[in-house]
Amino acid sequence: MKSSSERVEGDFLGEIEIPQGALFGAQTQRAVLNFPVGTQRTIGGYPRLIEGLMFVKQAAALANRESGFLDKTKAQAIIDAASQILNDKQFEHFPIHRLHGGGGTSANMNANEVLANLGEELLGGKRGEYRLLHPNDHVNLHQSTNDVYPTACHIAIIRQWPDLRSALGRLVNSLQRRAVELAKEEKIARTCLQDAVVITFEDLLKGYASFLNRSLWQIGKAVDDLYNVNLGGTIVGRRGDVPESYFRAIIHLLQKATGDANYRMAEDLFDSAQNPDDMVQVSSQLNLSARGLIKVCKDFRLMSSGPEAGFSEIQLPAIQPGSSTMPGKINPVIPEFGVQLCFQVIGNHAACQAALDHGELDLNIWESTIVFNVLDSMELLSNAISTFDEKCVRGFIVNSSQNSKYARSTISVLADLMKRHGYSRIDAICKQAGADMELIKKMLKERDL
């Protein structure tokens, strides 16, 4: 016997009890029970993915209305219901585990049921009845999870990108600005962790900025490729599974729903169903950027090592005590924070690669693994980059006296002398002195070099 706080809905598997006030329906409730969330994130924890689903449903409703397959009242109810979710950010109505089984079917049905119930109420009915608006017959008309979900995944990543793009751009600008400020500050360059030649902090920082600027461009290019979507390809890419009028209209109406004219139909819909390598390419670029950022963070960590027994070339902003037992100790916690976030990005990419590897036959069903790891990685990188920029790059101080001392190192002097006197002559002195740097200095002085 059901309680007053629950209602009963059914599907072809039978009846199931659902919380009375829930906007979702039977298939969502089954997913909630089948895939325990625990303390993990639901699809509602990824607003960009829900936005993508809502835009797809609005575009499909418009296409079905224009093609004469859905009356104006029902189509408008779907569009208005999706707008309500978007405007009010009602993401709590999407409670299923982000990595649910079934290749996104539960996510698609969650969206269908929520919109059907909201639309039902807008039309004067009651949630759970589906008398005026049905999740499958109306909201999902001429769609399949297999074109809805990948398209929503693409939209989610595209819409997440501006946050990371802005963070990267700000860090590049900060590095370039600090490079100008520190153009006259010399430092020793190192190769194989050994003394090399003298450069400036401008040289060093502009090198970092160039790498990050290239990363920005490469990620952006990979994201731009996601504007190719398979909406209209339904189950496995077979064009005949939707009416021609709907097929011709759907991409234009997706552009209208999203307010973004860059969306376009994928050239080969069968390819799109089989291969989500375009999303994995975004992950690959995020992975490369994370690995490069680790190097930058570790460089700052090395350059700030000390204060007396390390490089001590720079001083990072002191933001917290570094030890529970050593008074006065300050650790490079911001670079270390960034490194660890980047470690996680690398792990996320490994999961994306596995999802690409394990597609079978006509459909790769592992889009959830890919999209949520990509979205997580974008969030992680945005956090790492913004924090490193604001709490490290903008405020570090150069230890000029220490850097001047290092700039006069024997190896750097020998490198300069070699340019004037030839490699063989300077090399002969080094051979005669062996590894004794003091003897090398003495011999150079004796030869007036």
Decide if pLDDT at 188 tops 60.
yes
Please state, in angstroms and as integers, the Cα–Cα distance from residue 447 to each residue in 68, 155, 284, 417, 418, following that order: 95, 70, 55, 12, 14
Q: pLDDT confidence of 138, banded at 50, 70, 90?
A: very high
* Structural domain contains residue 251: no
Q: Is the residue at 276 inside a domain?
A: yes
CATH number at residue 185: 1.20.200.10
- The predicted model gives 372-398 an average pLDDT of 98
DSSP SS3 for 264: strand
Same domain? For 391 and 413 the reply is no
**Is there a single domain that holds both residue 313 and residue 442?**
no
Tokens 């006069």 belong to: 408
Identify the H or E element spanning 322: none
Same domain, 60 and 124: yes
Asked whether residue 356 falls in the same domain as residue 377, the answer is: yes
In a domain, 154, yes or no: no
At residue 155, does pLDDT exceed 80?
yes
Confidence (pLDDT) at 423: 80
Give pLDDT, residue 3.
61
Gap between the Cα atoms of 421 and 8, Å rounded: 92
Instruction: Decide if pLDDT at 226 tops 60.
Output: yes
CA distance linking residue 135 with residue 141, whole number of Å = 9
Overall number of domains in the chain: 3
For the ranges 75-84, 390-399, 440-449, the lowest mean pLDDT is seen at 440-449
Query: CA-CA distance, 203 to 397, in Å (whole number)?
Result: 16
- Would you state the pLDDT for residue 8? 92
3-state secondary structure 185-205: CEEEEEECCEEEEEEEHHHHH
Q: Given a cut of 60, is residue 101 above it in pLDDT?
A: yes
Pairwise pLDDT comparison (417 vs 324), residue with the higher score: 324
Domain end point (choices 76, 109, 141): 141
215 counts as catalytic: no
Q: What's the rounded Cα separation, in Å, for the pair 57 and 47?
A: 15
Mean pLDDT confidence for 156-165:
98
Asked if the bond preceding 307 is cis, omega within 30° of 0, the reply is: yes
For 348-361, how does the pLDDT look when each residue is reduced to its tens digit (9 = 90+)? Answer: 999 999 999 999 99
DSSP string, 67-122: TTSS-HHHHHHHHHHHHHHHHHT-GGG--SBTT-SSTTHHHHHHHHHHHHHHHHHH
Same domain, 220 and 294: yes
| Helix (H), strand (E) at residue 11 | strand 6-11
> Rounded CA gap, 61 and 76, in Å?
8
Is the domain of 340 the same as that of 421? Answer: no
Asked if the model's pLDDT at residue 34 lies above 60, the reply is yes
For residue 320, is it left (φ>0), alpha (ψ between -120 and 50) or beta? beta
Mark whether 414 and 356 lie in a shared domain: no
Confidence of residue 435 (pLDDT cuts 50, 70, 90): low
Contact (Cβ atoms closer than 8 angstroms) between residue 87 and residue 54: no
Q: Is residue 51 part of a domain?
A: yes
Question: In this model, does residue 61 exceed pLDDT 80?
Answer: yes
In a domain, 249, yes or no: no
Both 128 and 236 in a single domain?
no
Q: Which of 174, 323, 324, 400 is catalytic?
A: 323
Co-location of 215 and 121 in the same domain: no
Helices 47-66 and 367-388, interaxial angle, to 10°?
Answer: 130
Whether residue 168 lies inside any domain: the answer is yes
Residues 303 and 356 in one domain: yes
Whether residue 189 sits in one domain with residue 329: yes
CATH of the domain at 122: 1.10.275.10
- On whether residue 95 sits in a domain, the answer given is yes
Give the domain extent around 440.
409-446
The answer to whether residue 261 is domain-embedded is no
Task: Indicate if the pLDDT at residue 185 is higher than 60.
Answer: yes
Same structural domain, 104 and 177: no
| Domain's final residue, options 141, 168, 184 | 141
Mean pLDDT over the full length of the chain: 94
